Chain A
Amino acid sequence: MKYPSISERALETLGPQLVDGADPSIVDRDARMLGSSDQDLDLTEVIALSRALKEDLKKFEKAQLPKDSFEGQIAGQVHSAISKIDIQILDDKGFWRYLCLRYFWWLAAWREDAFAEGVLGEYRKYVDAHSSTECVLTRTYLRGQIALEASGEDKNYDHASAVEMATDFWRSHISRVNNWKYPSLVRAFVEMQRDARLNTTPLRVFARALNRRRSNFWLRELSRAEAASVIKDLRPDDQS
């Protein structure tokens, strides 16, 4: 399967042009086709996703909700569409870079204030796919993936949008640390934060206690009830 890829170097010339309002189709000029087969990767579903989410954003903006809510709402759709692509292609950061620049630039530019000043060094991490937990498209995809696993037999994405204002929560406490490896723990952690939100400082203290617990336990096999019990044990009653 042949698929498009954008290099870091190409990003450095394309980024400023896109910031200046160039049409994203310019990205195709610099895309290299990688892969060995004669058949090209079919991006129809991804293109349709981009268009549909753009429309959704128009409606979302009318509701004047925090931007993070949109990221949580679309995480399932993003994961559902993109996860159908071969894992070896998804493993290539250059492919994600292509998707970010060609079809989802509008999402990153809307989502992150760093684009406002147009300084590449400030906004590149949101589109260069170097860190999957920073880049807007990859982190949204991962949020969907982790939420789906956390739902277990329910097989839905509900937990991706269960907590409001949760971008930092997902990045710092779920996807960037090893908690993502433990689906039932993720579910219990998200539900705790949904039902009795901890603010930044107590959340950090709680997360440190959870890290300690993780360092002595293999938590992959915990049932839903057992994971909820672990979370409850670590949280002092009076914290918020």
Chain B
Amino acid sequence: MPEKQISNMGNEFRTLRPYKGVDQVQAVFDDAVLHVGEHDRIFADGNLITEANLYLTAPIGLSMLGWNHDSDETIHSAADVIHHLEKGLEASGLSREEFDNVMYTVAASTPYLKILDTIWAGNHTEFKALIESIPVAESGKDSRPRPLLTPSGGCTIELVAYLATDRDLDRIERPMEVTGKGTWLARAKFDIDTDLAEIGFTPTPLTPELKDHLELPEGTLRYIIMEDTLQPESSAGDMTVYVDNEALNAIGSNSGGSGARAFMVQLALDVVTAIVTEASRQLAAAPDTDLGTIQGSLCHRLIRQASRTSTNRVDESREAAMFIAIREDPLRVISEFEGNEDDIKTFILASIKESGS
């Protein structure tokens, strides 16, 4: 999706968090980098598709020092990162004595088997000591976190900074400050998938028997049924993409041909159109819905995939603009997708396969 077009879709951006100063802490987290093996790196809120063997054996570490692709080296010094992080904590209202009331957790989860392992947790002092590299997984399969043993399901590594205890403060004198235990100040996510993961949707053969059952005309080539597109953490199972069984067999036997390819692109566009149209209808009926309440839904995953920049990071302004556009001008969103085949290809490969977020 071309950045300029999407940026023009709307000019009302969401308020990210109702707390002061946390955006400065988040800015530090935005430079977090997950190092996978010797050569692969994932930026905050980015993803990596790697080989299953690497997924199962590569050493993985999390660094807060950023990474410059061109020079192949870190961007910041540890001292700079700590300085900016602590400035952010102060801007959030925390005194230096309260810094160790902030806990940092690195957790890995795999969506198919619903397993979450806490890999590392520590307070601010302990986090500072590991700011250059928090070990996530050692080389090899022994003592590897369980989500990193699931190459088909893939996993999400998440870093979260949150308050470990309640802060007792006068909310009138000190408004907009983080107070409650568990309130997070910043987070960064890294998705790792492998070449074993299933593609976005698996077309279901539309047999004559099924057409009859679904009361479809005999000549129907494709038909899509989907449940709630705004349901958080929905899965590919919530959408069934039927394709005429003869057409499907023809595509299967000539998958590299231009006709088969054109059909697959059109099919992906049909899926995008169905999601956008249904989501727009649902949003019209529920005007209080915001991005926060549809995390992981089919609609959100579509938005997120289309909001990635050339460095594969999610541009939150684009994400917010696209959400508004789906609500207010769905036909335009569809036309934007039609105009960008790269996004459609990415969408087929990554966007709606079953994964948590």
Contacts and interface: CB of A to CB of B under 8 A. Distances in A.
Interface in A198-240: 208, 211-212, 215-222, 226
A97 B5 CA distance: 44
Contact of A91 (B105, B113, B207, B232): B113
Contacts of B238: 131
Given A176-B231, A176-B235, A215-B292, A132 B184 contact: no
Interface core residue of B160, B182, B206 (most chain A CB under 10 Å): B182
B17 to A, nearest CB: 7
Contacts of B296: 177-178
A131 B227 CA distance: 14
A194 interface: no
A218 B356 contact: no
A88 B149 CA distance: 6
B314 interface: no
Contacts of A130: 198, 202, 236-237, 354
A211 B232 contact: yes
B69 interface: no
B126 to A, nearest CB: 15
Interface in A147-192: 172, 175-178, 180-181
A142 B114 contact: yes
Interface stretch (B150-158, B261-269, B335-343): B150-158
A123 B265 CA distance: 28
Given A8-B202, A145-B114, A146-B114, A176 B146 contact: no
B57 interface: no
A176 B233 contact: yes
Interface in A98-135: 117, 119-122, 124-125, 130-134
Interface of B: 17-18, 56, 103, 105, 107, 109-110, 112-116, 118, 146, 149-153, 160, 162, 164, 180-184, 187, 198, 202, 204-207, 209-210, 213-214, 231-238, 240, 242, 292-293, 295-296, 354, 356
Contacts of B234: 176
A29 to B, nearest CB: 21
11 contacts: A88-B151, A93-B152, A132-B112, A132-B114, A142-B113, A178-B356, A180-B114, A208-B293, A215-B295, A217-B162, A220-B116
Contacts of B187: 218
B139 to A, nearest CB: 17
Contacts of B354: 130-131
Contact of B293 (A119, A176, A211, A220): A211
Interface core residue of B18, B149, B153, B232 (most chain A CB under 10 Å): B232
B150 A88 contact: yes
Contacts of B116: 181, 220
Contacts of A146: 114
B45 to A, nearest CB: 15
Contacts of B205: 12
A63 interface: no
A226 B240 contact: no
A119 B205 CA distance: 12
A87 B105 contact: no
A67 to B, nearest CB: 20
A142 B114 CA distance: 7
Contacts of A218: 105, 160, 162, 182-184, 187
A91 B237 contact: no
B220 to A, nearest CB: 13
